Amino acid sequence: MIGIASGSQSSSSFGNWTSNNNSPVCTDNSSNEVWNDWGASQRDLFVLDLNGDLVLHQNITSGLPDNLGSLIIDLLGQYDTEICDLNDIYVSEAHTSGDPEDYIEIYNNGVEDCSLEGFRLDDNQEMDDLTFGDVVITAGGYWLGYKDGDSSFSSGLSSDGDEVWLSDPLGNTKMVFLNASVEFDGVQLSQSFSSNGDGCYTTPTPGENNTDCITLGIDFQNVLPQNILLLNSYPNPFNPATFIQIEIKNREDVIIEIFDARGSFVKTIFSGFLDRGIHKFSWNATGSDGTEVGSGVYFYTIKSNSVLLSKKIVFAK
């Protein structure tokens, strides 16, 4: 959803629009050309199809229209090939350095061909890098994109650790974490992922079935970032709380966050500088609003200027 406001006064009160959500707001500054061209008034709802054509303009002072959900579904069904279901497609492999260069692979686990039109791909929640056009991904097939390739992403993937975000036309998202790049037997490894976002190091297989996970021995630990160590949480599974441990070799500015299995942000545990030593933080299975989350798989992450690390935890009610 995108909010459009006219005038400078609206831009000073964005917090009223975006409280507890990630909705973007665009300000149409004087002389309010967009506002006027659209014939907008306060609390108007506009719905565009994937071609950018206006299909609904309605004032929603009294509430959202009852048929909004079915309208959007009908719009998605107007295309020759059905729009992909985010439950069927996922990022199955990513490569951050070496040869081949940065690439992202998306796999269609569904039983039908589907279109990625309107889907977005990025290395952060801004989702402004790549918006797919009329791209069909076959059942059991792959979409493969190389950095700066035609109709591909342009944000490079950091060899120190990164994120890959995928969203559907309705704004639902999935995200996978990339750990630091590792070289094994002269090969710069890629990272392969299952449908639930679990990842491991593999030999690069762009556009093909992923190979078996590679277990890294202690001899290869020196290639991983050593200033920050993300230790196992305990207990895991947990209820009602778990403890997250971080070891810092040198003082560093970090942020520790919780995400759910779909990659949606849940809560910030800590943000700021940590001195050398082992630091322990607790999470009591609540989101930013203080409400208890549902049972299931979550990820705790630590990010700094040099690294992004993550581990999985399970909340069991």
Domain ranges of the chain: 3-76, 89-223, 228-315
Q: How far is CA 67 from the centre of its chain?
A: 29
Which distant-in-sequence residues (6+ apart) come within 8 Å of 170 by Cβ?
72
Each residue of 127-143: pLDDT tens digit? Answer: 899 999 989 999 999 99
**Ordered DSSP codes for 37-53:** HTT--TTEEEEE-TTS-
CATH 3.40.50.300 fits 228-315, yes or no: no
Query: What whole-number distance in Å separates Cα of residue 286 and Cα of residue 264?
Result: 14
Q: Give the pairing of strands 25-28 and 3-6.
A: parallel
Structure tokens at 121: 């791909």
pLDDT in tens, the chain (317 residues): 556 665 555 555 556 656 666 666 677 777 777 778 878 888 888 877 766 777 778 888 888 777 777 777 676 665 567 899 998 999 999 999 877 689 999 999 999 999 999 999 999 888 899 999 989 999 999 999 999 998 999 988 988 888 899 999 988 888 888 888 888 878 889 999 988 788 888 999 999 998 888 866 544 444 444 578 888 889 988 999 999 999 888 888 999 999 887 778 899 999 999 999 999 999 999 999 999 999 888 989 888 876 778 888 889 87
Tell me the pLDDT tens digit for each residue of 178-218. 888 888 878 889 999 988 788 888 999 999 998 888 866 54
SS (H, E, C) 157-194: CCCCCEEEEEECCCCCEEEEEECCCCEECCEECEEEEC
Q: Assign domain 89-223 to its CATH architecture.
A: Sandwich (2.60)
Q: What pTM did the predictor assign?
A: 0.57
Cβ pair 300, 257 in contact under 8 A: yes
HEC assignment per residue over 126-153: CCCCEECCCCEECCCCEEEEECCCCCCC
Domains 89-223 and 228-315 share a fold: yes
Give whole-number Cα distances, 129 to 132, 235, 278, 291, in Å: 10, 38, 37, 33
